[in-house]
Structure 1
Amino acid sequence: MTILVTGLIAGALDLLAATLFFIARGNKQPSALFRYIASAVFGKTAFTGGAGMVAMGVLFHFVIAMCWVLCYFVIYPWMHSGIIVDAAAYGLLVWVVMNLVVVPLSKAARRPLLFHSSL
């Protein structure tokens, strides 16, 4: 139950942060962000789909968040460097795996990898 609740909290906070960042960068339709997430599985079809594709993007977002929370709970017993170092190392691990492994292996359109836009 703890993993489920933690995953829902992490997913909701990340969804909020991603949406606010997306809007702050001048994008007017946050639904495009979730269609992009859905495009990892559905490819270009995700951008022509309706609200169902947006919902699939949100669902995939939460599934990914749950997976990362589960990973954190598995490796937590071996983390002993202090909360700041552990959090930074885990955040870097998540960023590397998502941007250099998961996204390139998906059907999502290729975008240039810009480190400064990840901050």
Structure 2
Amino acid sequence: MLPVKENKPLLPAILAAGLLTGILDGFAAVVQYLINTGRNPVMVFRFIASGIFGKPAFDPEATFMPVWGLFFHLAIATIFTAIFFFLYPRIPFFSRNRITGGVIYGLVIWLIMNRIVLPLSNTPSLPFKLKSAVTGILILIVAVGIPVSILAARYYERPGFRTEEQ
């Protein structure tokens, strides 16, 4: 079932949903960091930038690193959003179970990020802490998984939308 362009093109819907989920997830990460450490939340985005740039991302003189971190964060959120939008019309479970699908997708995102992406990146290794893992999973479920599932449903189930199979 491939989407056919009718009223609303797919790319702007993905970009808007990716931006929204990226902002929600970034805000939750900043709040969590502030609660846990009381330190400057810009470090969240320096940490993200370190995935590409390594230790230089933490240099106080590298004032542009938080911007890179924000850019990478939003790009990753948009990529995960695009993947879900691609899967939504192909996996009927998602349209029949929007909330459960969003919960599962949030968990899948956490697994991919923490078991594949971060270990392959230049970010500093962090010790596994169950409380942090559960908090991270819940943030991804609430800030990314469920919203992207609802937004994909709104996109694909709008009046006038059809797939090539219809």
Same fold (TM over 0.5): yes
Structure with the higher fraction of residues in helix conformation: 1
Distance in 2 separating the partners of 1:107 and 1:33: 15
In 2, Cα distance between equivalents of 1:85 and 1:8: 22
User: Is the 1:40–1:106 contact (alpha carbons within 8 Å) kept by the matching residues of 2?
Assistant: yes
**2:70 aligned with 1:54, yes or no?**
no
| 8 Å CA contact 1:79, 1:86 repeated in 2 | no
Give the aligned partner of residue 40 of structure 1: 51
In the other structure, the counterpart of 1:6 is 17
In the alignment, the residues of structure 1 paired with residue 113 and residue 75 of structure 2 have an alpha-carbon distance, to the nearest angstrom, of: 13
| Residue of 9, 20, 24 corresponding to 2:31 | 20
2:103 matches 1:88: yes
What is the CA distance between 1:43 and its match in structure 2?
Answer: 0.4
Assess if the C-alpha contact under 8 Å between 2:56 and 2:62 holds in 1: no
The RMSD of aligned alpha carbons is 1.3
Paired with 1:14 and 1:85, the residues of 2 have a C-alpha distance of 19
* 1:42-67: CA deviation from partner (whole Å, max 9, x where unpaired): 00010014320011001100010110
Q: What amino acid maps onto 1:69 in structure 2?
A: T
Which is greater in Rg?
A: 2
Match of 1:105 among 120, 124, 127: 120
Identical amino acids, percent of aligned pairs? 35
Give the aligned length.
119
TM-score for both structures, normalised by structure 1: 0.93
Q: Partners of 1:17 and 1:85 in 2: how far apart?
A: 21
CA distance in 2, matches of 1:36, 1:79: 37
Specify the alignment match of 1:65 in structure 2: 77
Q: TM-score scaled by structure 2?
A: 0.68
Which consecutive aligned stretches of 4+ in structure 1 deviate over 6 angstroms post-superposition? none
Gaps of 5+ in 1: none
User: Which of structures 1 and 2 has the larger relative contact order (alpha carbons within 8 angstroms, sep 6+)?
Assistant: 2
